[in-house]
Structures are given as C-alpha cells and as structure tokens.
Chain A
Amino acid sequence: MSDPWDAQFEDMLRPVLQHLPPGEPLRPDTDLAQAGLDSMGTVELLLSLEDHYSISLPDEMLQSSTFSTPESVWKAITAVRDQGAEA
C-alpha cells in the first residue's frame, strides 16, 4: 500500500521526530509528540512545509491537534492546497 502523502512530506517530517528510529515506518497515526515533535520542531516543520508546498496555514489551524499525527498534518496541507486551487 502506498503512503497517503508524497515522499518530500516524509523527508521534512522525519528530521523533527528525534525519537523515531530511522528504520521505523511513519504511519498515518504515529503520535508525533511521542516521536519527539516539540514546540520548536513544530515551528521548523511548519516553515519547511509552507515553503515547499507554497501555502500558508491559517492561524486557526496552528494548534496541537493539527500536529498530532502525520495524517492530521497532511490533511491540513491538502485542505489549504485544495482551497488555493479552487480560488
């Protein structure tokens, strides 16, 4: 089964997950806080995602629930991208 996200997404996410061993697969429901995502890591991740996908996540999305799992982060990105495409 292929990942629900593109390869670059995982390349940006892995470096901020200090406790996820390199060989361990990233699952949609991986608990990012448990995997080592802290508040500083969240900021780094946000900046690289916004830059790479040329999007701006609105402030109301920037809460802990958005950054709880890879799936929730990816959903936020696709929602904003889709909105941009419709506009």
Chain B
Amino acid sequence: MSTSRPDHEVALDQVLPVLRRHASEVDENASFPSESLTALRTSGLLGSVIPSQHGGWGMSLSQFVETAQLLAGACLTSASIWAMHCQQADALARYGNQGFTDEILPQIAAGQVYLASVTTEPVKGGHALSAHSAALHSDEYLSFDRKAPVVTGGRHADGFLITLRASATAPETQVSLIYADRSQLRIEQSGDWRTLGMRGTDSVSLHLKGKVPDRQVIGGHGGFREVAVESYLPMAHIGWSACWLGAAKGVFAELVQELRRPGRRGGPQLSSDLVRERLARIRLDLELVHSYLQRVVSEVEQCWRAGQSVGEPVQQIHLNSLKLCASELCYRAVDRMIELAGLSLGYSKDSVVPLERCLRDLRSASLNYSNERLLTVTGAMTLMDRSVRLA
C-alpha cells in the first residue's frame, strides 16, 4: 500500500536545505534570498493558499502556519517573504474580480508571479487602513503616482498589491486595493534597506507610477477595509507570528542539540539548576506563543468556515494579542538563549547556533506593524468587551 504525502511536505524536503544553505550569506551580504525564492517558485509553494481549481494547493490556515514555522526555522527572511506573498495571494483569491483571478491565480500557483505589498506611505507611516495617494479614474482605468517607504522584496516582485485613496475626492480612510503587474508600472528606487536585522528582505523605498484597468481592483473601489479586516490583517498577524515562532524554535532546537553534544567543552553545565531554570523559561515562552497561535488560528478558521466576520472587537483583540505576544515573547526567548549560551556560543556571529542573527532579526518584530499602535487599539477595544471573552 502506498501512502502519498501532501504536496507541500514533499516541496519542503526540497526547499528547506536551500533556505538553510543561504540564510547566513543573505544576512551577511544583506542580499535578497534569490536562490530561496527560485526554490519556492519551482516547488509550488508560491501557490500554497491559491485554491486548487486555479492550480494551487488550497492550504488551510493551519497548514500555512506549520509551513511558515518550518521555513522560518531554516531562514526567517525567506519565510517572511513567502508569508507576505501568501497574504497577498489570499486577498487576491478571495476578493479579486473573477475574470481577472482566472488569469492571475494560475500564474501565481505556477510560481511565475511573486507578489509584494505596497501599504506603507511616507505621510501616514504604517497605518494600514488609510491612504494618501489617490487613484485617478478615466475610461475604466485608474492611474496613480505612489511613494512607499518600505516594500519588502520590492525590487524582485513580479506583481504588487497597492493601496490607494479611492479617488481624488475620497477621504483617506476610503481605500482601494489594486493589483499591478511590474510591466504596468514605472518604478524608481528612492532608498536602500540597511538595517540591524531582516537584512535580506531588501525592503526598499519605491516610487511607483502606473495605470491599470478597473478589473484589477480587489474588493471593489474603496473596498480595502473589508479585505484588510477579513483577509490581509489576519493573514499578516498569523503569518508573522508563525515565522517568528518558527525562527525562535529553530534556534532553540539547535541550541539544545549543541548543549547535549557529547564531548562539548566549556559553556553551560547541564547539571546546573540555573541552566535548567533558564531552559524552562525559554521553553515556557515558546509553549505560550505556540498554543495561543493554534488557538487564534482555530478561531479564525471557524469564522471563515461559518462565513462570519473576524472584524468584531473580540476577534480583533485576539488577533492583535497574538501579534503582540509573539513579537515580544519570541524575541525574549532568543535573548534568554543568548544569556544562557554565553559570549561564544550565544553572542558571537561565528557560533554554530545562529542566535546572534536570530536576535537581530526578531528585534524587528515589535516595529513591523508597530506594537505601540496595536496596544493602543487593543486597549480601546478591551473597553468594548466588558465580559472579557478570552481566546
């Protein structure tokens, strides 16, 4: 009797060694992980969340989260690029115009189209639900002139999902989401990406000008709020949290293996109560993020299956709390791993365990979709849930 493994598991066998092999040089040279992206394209993983009728794998949210963790355990930069691509692909698949999705989704599933997201804007920072640059309408086309300070993979993407103010007279909170192919855009790079960590995401500043037909509007004119609340933001918070957890878990596994290596000399003594207490504290943080991630994923899956909104205050509090706790606890766990491992095994770039890189990468987690703003919103929403309905 033959048992066939799911496509994505077979794909991961091919892709993970490539990501692992290039993770260090991607960070060292601050270079985009092109080899990893090629492996993701050819493996079929770019089509993970594309429905099967369009040639994708129609992955469930749980499978997406497991895959993100495994990829991040090999290379957090590549995993984040993949998770953000899947976030765009999910929005296109759910809210795209059918005539257009029939064309674009099979291309994404075939690995021909890697998607980048253009939601940041100089005047508004990372505030996702507003836009300043307007879509100018004429003859079933809309044109735009848009600056974006941070576009992950912006120089490498084949297609872009771009937020625009719905029209020249629309308020900044009335936002349209459009798809633009690279061939429909004039792109100027206006700034570099030179950062402490996540150095290979090549999240450059771009100035984009273009014109696209109305059929490339996703979720209708001015319809971004619904796309964001029901797809974009849940996918982002869940995807990033899974990536951060996967990275922290990955280095912890390597650290424990190194600590148990026969013949290891120097460093933490495994018989020490202090060492064991530190191990337990790290494990505790990872256990908490893992279980809360599973819980929120199952809540979102339940809402999606029942056709219910995930935009009610209680679901928003849970999704925000996931992003907040994953960004803080995964970073803290890796910081504690360095404390435990000491200067050479923990703090050094030349360590056999890449804790130093992981700490720098995870430092971005609280800044990426700023925790400060998310806490303010979550605090306000908490006042709307007097009975404290916990996840």
Contacts and interface: CB of A to CB of B under 8 A. Distances in A.
B174 A34 contact: yes
A59 B384 CA distance: 7
Q: Which 7 residue pairs of A and B lie closest in terms of their CB atoms, listed nearest first? A: A43-B380, A19-B171, A62-B384, A59-B387, A63-B312, A40-B380, A59-B386
B371 interface: no
A39 B383 contact: no
Given A36-B171, A38-B173, A64-B311, 13 more contacts: A18-B173, A34-B174, A36-B173, A38-B129, A40-B377, A43-B381, A46-B384, A47-B383, A59-B384, A59-B386, A59-B387, A62-B385, A63-B312
A81 to B, nearest CB: 18
Contacts of A33: 225
A62 B173 contact: no
Contact of B381 (A19, A39, A56): A39
Interface residues of A, number: 17
A42 to B, nearest CB: 7
A40 B376 CA distance: 9
Interface in B140-178: 171, 173-174
Interface residues of B, number: 19
A16 to B, nearest CB: 12
Contacts of B389: 59
B38 interface: no
B171 A18 contact: yes
Interface of B: 129, 171, 173-174, 225, 309, 311-313, 316, 377, 380-381, 383-387, 389
A59 B385 contact: yes
Nearest to A56: B386
Nearest to A35: B171
Contacts of A38: 129, 173
Interface in A22-45: 33-34, 36, 38-40, 42-43
Q: Is the interface of A mostly helix, strand, loop or mixed?
A: loop
A43 B376 CA distance: 12
Contacts of B381: 39, 43
Contacts of A19: 171, 173-174
Interface string A53-83: 0001001001110000000000000000000
A64 B381 CA distance: 12
Contacts of A34: 174
A76 to B, nearest CB: 13
Contacts of A63: 312-313
B171 A42 contact: no
Contacts of B385: 59, 62
Contacts of A64: 309, 311-312
A5 B129 CA distance: 31
A42 B384 contact: yes
A41 B99 CA distance: 37
Contacts of B316: 39
A17 to B, nearest CB: 11
Given A19-B173, A36-B171, A59-B389, A43 B383 contact: yes
Contacts of B174: 19, 34
Contacts of A62: 313, 384-385
Nearest to A34: B174
A46 B313 CA distance: 13
Given A47-B383, A59-B385, A62-B385, A39 B173 contact: no
A39 B173 CA distance: 12
